[in-house]
Amino acid sequence: MRIPARRWSQVLSVLVANPWFAYFGTRAIYQGKAKGLCFPGFNCYACPLALFSCPIGALQQSAALLSPKTKVLAATQGAFGAIKQHASYPVGALLYVIGFIGLVGVVTGRLVCGWFCPFGFLQDLLYKIPTPKLGLPQWMRFGKYFALVVVAMLIPYLTGVHWYSRLCPAGALEGAIPLKVLPPTTPLPATGWFFWFKIAILVGFLAWMVVTKRPFCRTACALGGAYAALAPFSLYRMRVDSAKCTRCGDCRASCPVDINIYENANSPECVRCLTCKTVCPEAAVTSGFGRRAGEAIFEKGSGPAA
Amino acid sequence: MAGRLRRMRAPYVLLVVFVVMLLTGLILGGFGKVLVNGIVICLDCIGLI
């Protein structure tokens, strides 16, 4: 069985994002310089194996540290408060994280989602379990923009608390559960009802991933929302040749986010997995940086007659 | 709308804006603060209430 390049890339990304196997011996969460770098995919940096920061975690924590409420919280949170006070002027962090996310998004669109995101990889795998499948209502795709603007930025700023991380199913899977099973030497807070609430969110999403294509990416991923907003302007472009496309539907059948590429080649929903390029019997789908002269290109709503 | 913005070279304008933000963030010490933030979240992610 031939394993596609995208699968290898996803496996490699999991290993690159989580190579800190020294944790099994030291039981110490990695706190070195690499944690100042953001990983472009969705990977919890509370994972004991994580080497890099989650850009959405860093974004909301920067927003939380700018909050007027943070100083009040810092005074009441002991050791955590002391760390927060130390980082009490996080404008640099906010610019750094927004610049990083924006740069990745404007260069590649959502290519990272399709090729390098560990949580996207998990969703691709779970959907392969043979069960009856369900579609996703179109309106739910706006959830990821709500997650980005309201849950990951506005609420942390207003409350001083990083609520997206606290609810995040990737955080529960990669951070909360491993840290409970193999606790670090640093004392952790006691498990309360909120821990189990977080696990319930995770279980709900895992079940959804079995029956629906990439439900987290399409409805709740704040990082996906940021990349999606920039995808129509990205330098990496998808193209569908209007002279070749017959609208056979093979692209949609194989698409991990269930879109018709010929209706909008650079849709914000497209994770640029490039599977449509592989399966298109007419070789009508191409991609790359910049436009090639003389090529017929479908823009939104300008596809061929059915 | 997106097509019009593309013709106005919006991708290149955005590219410059984000590079400037990234570099400014680095100059202002954003790297170190993200590092500290990461450690805060690592320690604060479970057993919340």
Q: Please state which of the ranges A4-8, A40-44, A130-134, A194-198 shows the lowest mean pLDDT.
A: A194-198
Evaluate whether residue A16 is within a structural domain: yes
A182 with A80, same domain: the answer is yes
A177 with A35, same domain: the answer is yes
Cβ–Cβ gap B39/A57 under 8 Å = no
Question: How confident is the model at residue A295, as a pLDDT?
Answer: 40
Residue of chain A whose Cα is closest to the Cα of B6: A233
Residue of chain B whose Cα is closest to the Cα of A54: B38
For residue A53, list its beta bridge partners: A38
Residue of chain A whose Cα is closest to the Cα of B35: A36
Cβ–Cβ gap B25/A38 under 8 Å = no
Task: Write the residue in B27, B28, B43 that is nearest to A186 by C-beta.
Answer: B43
Answer with the one of A205, A227, A249 that is the final residue of a domain.
A227
Q: In A, which residues are within 8 Å of B36 by CB distance? A: 83, 86-87
Question: How confident is the model at residue A66, as a pLDDT?
Answer: 84
- Per-residue pLDDT, averaged over A272-286, amounts to 94
Q: In B, which residues are within 8 Å of A233 by CB distance? A: 2, 5-6, 10-11, 14
Evaluate whether residue A13 is within a structural domain: yes
Q: In A, which residues are within 8 Å of B41 by CB distance? A: 45-46, 54, 57, 61, 162, 165
A243-252, pLDDT tens digit by residue?
999 999 999 9
Question: What is the dihedral sign for C-alpha B26, A9, A108, A205?
Answer: negative
What tokens were used for A179? 């840290």
| Mutation target vs B (from A95, A267, A270, A299; most B CBs, 10 A cutoff) | A95
- Per-residue pLDDT, averaged over A111-131, amounts to 96
A205 with A280, same domain: the answer is no
pLDDT at A152 exceeding the cut of 50: yes
- Gap between the Cα atoms of A239 and A192, Å rounded: 50
Question: How confident is the model at residue A73, as a pLDDT?
Answer: 55
A136 with A202, same domain: the answer is yes
ipTM of the complex: 0.85
- One-letter amino acid at B42 equals C
Question: How confident is the model at residue A286, as a pLDDT?
Answer: 92
A10 with A81, same domain: the answer is yes
- Gap between the Cα atoms of A263 and A245, Å rounded: 11
A214: domain range? 5-227
A136 with A282, same domain: the answer is no
Task: Write the residue in B11, B18, B25 that is nearest to A93 by C-beta.
Answer: B25
Evaluate whether residue A148 is within a structural domain: yes
Question: How confident is the model at residue A88, as a pLDDT?
Answer: 45
pLDDT at A76 exceeding the cut of 70: no
Evaluate whether residue A24 is within a structural domain: yes
- Gap between the Cα atoms of A110 and A117, Å rounded: 10
Evaluate whether residue A232 is within a structural domain: no
Evaluate whether residue A220 is within a structural domain: yes
Between strands A236-240 and A285-289, the pairing is antiparallel
A70 with A49, same domain: the answer is yes
A31 with A156, same domain: the answer is yes
A181 with A275, same domain: the answer is no
What is the total count of domains within chain A? 2
A149 with A253, same domain: the answer is no
- Per-residue pLDDT, averaged over A173-179, amounts to 90
A31 pLDDT band, cuts 50/70/90, is confident
A197-211, pLDDT tens digit by residue?
999 999 999 999 999
Evaluate whether residue A142 is within a structural domain: yes
Cβ–Cβ gap B30/A83 under 8 Å = no
Q: Please state which of the ranges A79-93, A115-129, B25-39 shows the lowest mean pLDDT.
A: A79-93
A13-29, pLDDT tens digit by residue?
999 999 999 999 999 88
pLDDT at A234 exceeding the cut of 60: yes
Answer with the one of A202, A227, A252 that is the final residue of a domain.
A227
Q: What CATH code is carried by the domain that includes residue A279?
A: 3.30.70.20
Cβ–Cβ gap A45/B21 under 8 Å = no
Answer with the one of A198, A227, A256 that is the final residue of a domain.
A227
- Gap between the Cα atoms of A103 and A6, Å rounded: 22
Q: Taking a C-beta distance cutoff of 8 angstroms, is the pair A268, A228 a contact?
A: yes
A63 with A209, same domain: the answer is yes
A139 with A274, same domain: the answer is no
